[in-house]
Structure 1
Amino acid sequence: MFCERSSGDVQKEDKSSSVAVILCFFGEQQQGGVSDEAEPFMGSGRFGKSPTSPLHHVKVVSSPFHVALKVNFLCQLFIRLWPDGRNLQLHFRSRLSLPLFTGGKVEGEQGAAIHIVLLDVNTGHVVTSGPESTIKLDVVVLEGDFNNEDDEGWTEEEFESHVVKEREGKRPLLTGDLQVTLKEGVGTLGELTFTDNSSWIRSRKFRLGLKVASGFCEGIRVGEAKTEAFTIKDHRGELYKKHYPPALNDDVWRLEKIGKDGSFHKRLNKSGIFTVEDFVRLVVRDSQKLRTILSSGMSNKMWDALIEHAKTCAMSGKLYVYYADDTRNVGVVFNSIYELSGLITGEQYLLSDSLSDSQKVQKWLIYTKNWFDFDH
């Protein structure tokens, strides 16, 4: 006798239920009975023949051919239930550099490569050995709202139902290296480019996803990976994007809250402020004057965001020195945006943080006396 079950039923039952099926198979095959070892599982206990019991729909199969088929089935069942006790999950180790534009390269933060790993969720360790550590993966595009609120997991069917294809008549949505092979459980995405924006789908956002390629890890569930949701803008928008961080020689409209050819941009240009360097120098020299230039239409919140962004620019390393007189015994040192850096007294150079209050006053007097005479 053999206890025949459909594969769909097996997938829904727990491991304990499957034990009953296995014990039933190894029971006595005489007169439709079962062995003493299997009998307790078929009584009124946990595996009794209730409508919800795993043996409720059991039917007897006596053909040797069917028995052979079921032996193979049981082997597959063991593989699925107890492959090696691991819970395998793909994971993006890098975050994407945003914003993203059509035609632009998909990169990690600060231009870094995008790394992926295969984890054993039970241990938190990377799977560095075994056939799973060298599997090939497919890179796909997902709906931005996929699994938006529930990060606990999803089924393979749910993942596949959220894969996004190109619009009719358009080029493939994602081009480049659409597969990656793991080595010791670690991989790196190749060059990827989006050919279309994300404005046409429901969420107006995409995600990148990773899944096991066909022909690999068959019979073993490996959880797919997904990135955070992001927007894809048309490449023409890149011409007007802000820089993070801004460079000193960038046009001033590269700063937050300053739109190209907008009212703030025109006011700054009219006041002789054309670059980020011009802007931050005036922030140091006379921030109130700058605030007045931008006062109409710029809220305090916008102002704070603008200043915060401007202060992230990298300094050029250039230094300026103001001397109190022709003897050049006392001088004040400034950086490229005119921030006070130190004081020269005789043959000593004192950093700004180490100056006494009286020295700071002296430095400030030299600074204000010579400011308008400085040729920059």
Structure 2
Amino acid sequence: MLYNYSNDQFSFSFDSAIGEAVMVNSFKDFFSVLEPLLRRVVNEEVERGLRQYYKFQSLTRSLPLCFQALESSSLKLTFSEELSLPIFTGRKITDIENNPLQIVVVETRSSGRITPANLSQPIKILMVVLDWDFPSGDHDDWSQEEFESNIVKERIGKQPLLTGDVNVTIRNGVAPVEDIEFTDNSSWIRSRKFKISAKVAQGNYHGVRICEAITEAFVVKDHRGELYKKHHPQMLEDEVWRLEKIGRSGTFYKKLTASGIKTVQDFLKMSIVEPQKLRRILGTGMSEKMWEATIKHARTCIMGNKLYIFRGPNSIIFLNPICQVVRATINGQTFLTRDLPNLNGYIGNLVREAYSNWHSLEVVEGVSNALLTQGTYI
């Protein structure tokens, strides 16, 4: 088939082809210009979304713990007992019962009751040191940033302040801290005092926030000062300067040792048998308040299970290590502790005689006071 085109028809077809080509090229140019614009817009929207996310995360972290919406369970760490003081560098830190520290998770309910929190998953805990005045006031609504900013780091060139079990794991709500100690004293910071805190280690727990445990403030002394440490409780053989208000090489110590009172046992024996003489030895420099503090401390002494037997004419008395009568046999009749006040005069003379001859008394071990006071002696 033959086609005949006029000049007008040919001109129209050529113009259309040229137009289509220009349009295609224009679209190519348009998209080449549009592509970087679209990329920039997308990038800006992604960045804006990320900024909003991190802003929300930062706001959540900075809220006080008790107001964070996802942390309303009021879970908190706490130390089961107070610390045993004083604390020395290089010496294991224990609780007031001389047991290893123990961290527990508790839940404070709205009623004010505190109950153990039984968490199913193990939680890693980090032990840190805080400055003495954190938190300020009587509240525990600090933010995460406030807590972290009050962590005390070691001095330049020194070991970490705490060594030993600084990383422990809570299982079933409890974590023992078997061995932990300070490597440096607290004299170099303004307050001269530290606190120990237990916090949840980052990255291993994703539940509701658990508030940090914080001890009371305390001084950490150099271990060389332990030579002068007062013992709580006392031992009978401790030197007498270990008692409260009696300083090593001080006036009271010199007066006591000059009178033959060298140990806590010596001090306690005289306080029972001749309290007025003991008071005169110490002199007026020891006030009544100081005297009471010294006596109270001395009476925390661990007695042990030794008994001392004094045999007199028609009598036998059994004394504990500080010269207190726990049983007496007079003319074949046995008197227990409850009966002794009726024999004050007679028993008093026997006790003074026993005290004067203390080193010649018969000593027995392994007999408890309970057996004696019950009238049983084997």
Q: Sort the TM-score into its range (normalised by shorter chain).
A: 0.7 to 0.9
8 Å contact from structure 2 (residues 89, 220) kept in 1 = yes
2:94 is the alignment partner of 1:112 = no
Alignment CA distance shift 1:313-1:130 (3 Å): closer
Kindly indicate whether residue 308 of structure 2 is the aligned counterpart of residue 320 of structure 1: yes
- The alignment status of 1:340 with 2:325, answered yes or no, reads yes
Which of the residues 331, 341, 351 maps onto 2:316?
331
- CA 1:191–1:319: 2 relative to 1, 3 Å: closer
SS at 2:225's partner residue? helix
Query: For the residues of structure 2 that align with 1:370 and 1:118, how far apart are their CA atoms?
Result: 55
SS in 2 for 1:110: coil
Matches within 5 A, 1:97-108: 97-108=84-95
Aligned ranges 1:68-217 → 2 under 5 Å:
81-82=69-70, 86-122=73-109, 124-131=114-121, 134-217=122-205
Inter-partner Cα distance in structure 2 for 1:263 and 1:119: 50
Whole-angstrom CA distance in 1 between matches of 2:105 and 2:353: 65
Q: Is 1:361 paired with 2:351?
A: no
Alignment partner of 2:249: what SS? Answer: coil
| CA distance, structure 2, for counterparts of residue 192 and residue 356 of structure 1 | 50
Aligned partner of 1:225: which letter? A
Instruction: Check 1:321–1:246 CA distance in 2 against 1; reply closer, same or farther (3 A cut).
Output: same
Change (3 A) 1:341 1:120: closer
Question: What secondary structure, in the 3-state scheme, does the structure 2 residue paired with 1:314 have?
Answer: coil
When residues 155 and 350 of structure 1 are mapped into structure 2, their CA distance, relative to the original with a 3 A threshold, is same
Residues 343 and 204 (structure 1), Cα distance of their counterparts in 2 relative to 1, 3 Å cut: same
How much identity, in percent, do the aligned residues show?
A: 43
SS in structure 2 of the partner of residue 187 of structure 1: strand
TM-score calculated relative to the size of structure 2: 0.72
1:162 Cα offset (Å): 0.7
Structure number with greater Rg is 2
How far is the alpha carbon of 1:287 from its aligned partner? 1.3
Q: Distance in 2 between matches of 1:214 and 1:152?
A: 20
- Deviations 1:86-109 (Å, cap 9, x if unpaired)? 232122112211110011111112
Evaluate the alpha carbon distance shift between residue 232 and residue 370 of structure 1 in structure 2; reply closer, same or farther with a 3 A threshold: closer
Name the CA shift for 1:204/1:347 in 2 (closer, same or farther; >3 Å).
same
Q: Matches of 1:344 and 1:333 in 2, distance apart?
A: 9
Report if the CA contact (8 A) 1:246-1:276 is conserved.
yes
| Aligned-CA RMSD value | 2.6
* Preserved CA contact (<8 Å) 2:323 2:351: no
Alignment deviations for residues 321-342 of structure 1 (CA, whole Å, 9 cap, x no partner): 44442xx3x3333222212223
Conserved? CA contact 1:139–1:210, under 8 Å: yes
User: Which amino acid in structure 2 is aligned with residue 108 of structure 1?
Assistant: D
Query: What corresponds to 2:252 in structure 1?
Result: 264
AA aligned opposite 2:325: L
**Cα deviation digits, residues 16-72 of structure 1 (max 9, x gap):** xxxxxxxxxxxxxxxxxxxxxxxxxxxxxxxxxxxxxxxxxxxxxxxxxxxxxxxxx
Partner of 1:310: 298
Contact 1:180 1:190 in 2 (8 A): no
User: Which letter does structure 1 place at the counterpart of 2:193?
Assistant: K
The letter for the 2-side match of 1:310 is A
Q: How many residues align?
A: 300
Q: TM-score, normalised by structure 1?
A: 0.72
Give secondary structure in 2 for the equivalent of 1:222.
Answer: coil
The aligned counterpart of 1:60 is: none
Structure 2: runs of 5+ lacking an equivalent: 1-48, 61-67, 362-378
Aligned-partner Cα distance in 1 for 2:318–2:178:
47
Give the deviation of 1:121 after TM superposition. 2.4
Q: Secondary structure at the match of 2:274?
A: helix
1:127 CA displacement: 2.9
- Please report how far the alpha carbon of residue 11 of structure 1 lies from its aligned counterpart in structure 2 after TM superposition: 7.7
The whole-number CA distance in structure 2 between the counterparts of 1:210 and 1:6 is: 32
Listed one character per residue, the Cα deviations across residues 135-172 of structure 1 (whole Å, up to 9, x for unaligned) are: 11111101111114223332111111110001122221
| Structure 1 residue 232 displacement after superposition | 0.1
Change (3 A) 1:177 1:228: same
Change (3 A) 1:294 1:130: same
Q: CA–CA distance in 2 between the matches of 1:98 and 1:137? A: 23
Aligned to 2:97, what secondary structure does the other structure show? helix
